Amino acid sequence: MKLVVVACLAAVAVAAPQFGRQFAPETRPDYRHIAIIRDNRQDNGDGNFNYDFETENGIIVNAVGTPGSKGQSNIQGSYRFPLPDGTVAEVRYVADENGYVADSPLIPTPPPLPAHAIEQIRIAEEQRAQGIVWDQYGFRVNRK
């Protein structure tokens, strides 16, 4: 009986799919190692650091970090990489106490607000400046 159980467990182990193996880079037909042609790093140990590196396929990354006012690292940097059409994508960013802000022509932007929406925002700002207040149901709150 024990032999049957062991044989069943062995069969299940052999038949089990090899998770992750199909995703291993070396199993992809287009996989090749990319050489790093430049790699400069400096960390002063006090929160100040910088690094930049470049790969043979055109990826360039750089960043400069300084200690932030709230214990975080403030980082300014950029990265560039080639796109399939031959152009180069570039993203510049700042990460600090205000969050992460990226700037790139690749980042989609919303369409401009229509004129009537801009007018409504202007009216609301005027009413707020006059001290007019509205409740959560849209009714004006009269304060005396």
99 — phi, psi (to 5°)? 105, -165
Longest dimension (CA), the chain: 90
- Asked, for residue 19, whether it belongs to a domain, the answer is yes
- Asked, for residue 92, whether it belongs to a domain, the answer is yes
- Asked, for residue 77, whether it belongs to a domain, the answer is yes
List the beta bridge partners of residue 62.
52, 78
Q: What's the whole-model pTM score?
A: 0.57
**Measured distance CA(36)–CA(55) in Å, rounded:** 4
Instruction: Check residue 142 and give its pLDDT.
Output: 77
Instruction: Check residue 31 and give its pLDDT.
Output: 74
Q: What is the mean pLDDT of each run of 10 residues along the chain (144 residues)?
A: 59 56 64 88 90 94 91 91 92 92 90 93 92 88 72
- Asked, for residue 116, whether it belongs to a domain, the answer is no
Instruction: Check residue 21 and give its pLDDT.
Output: 55
Q: Where are the beta strands (DSSP E) in the chain?
A: 36-43, 49-55, 60-67, 73-82, 88-96, 99-103, 133-134, 140-141
Closest CA to 130 of 138, 122, 115: 122
- Asked, for residue 137, whether it belongs to a domain, the answer is no
- Asked, for residue 47, whether it belongs to a domain, the answer is yes
**Number of folded domains that form the chain:** 1
Domain hosting 84: range is 2-103
- Asked, for residue 108, whether it belongs to a domain, the answer is no
Instruction: Check residue 33 and give its pLDDT.
Output: 83
The answer to whether 65 touches 43, Cβ cutoff 8 Å, is no
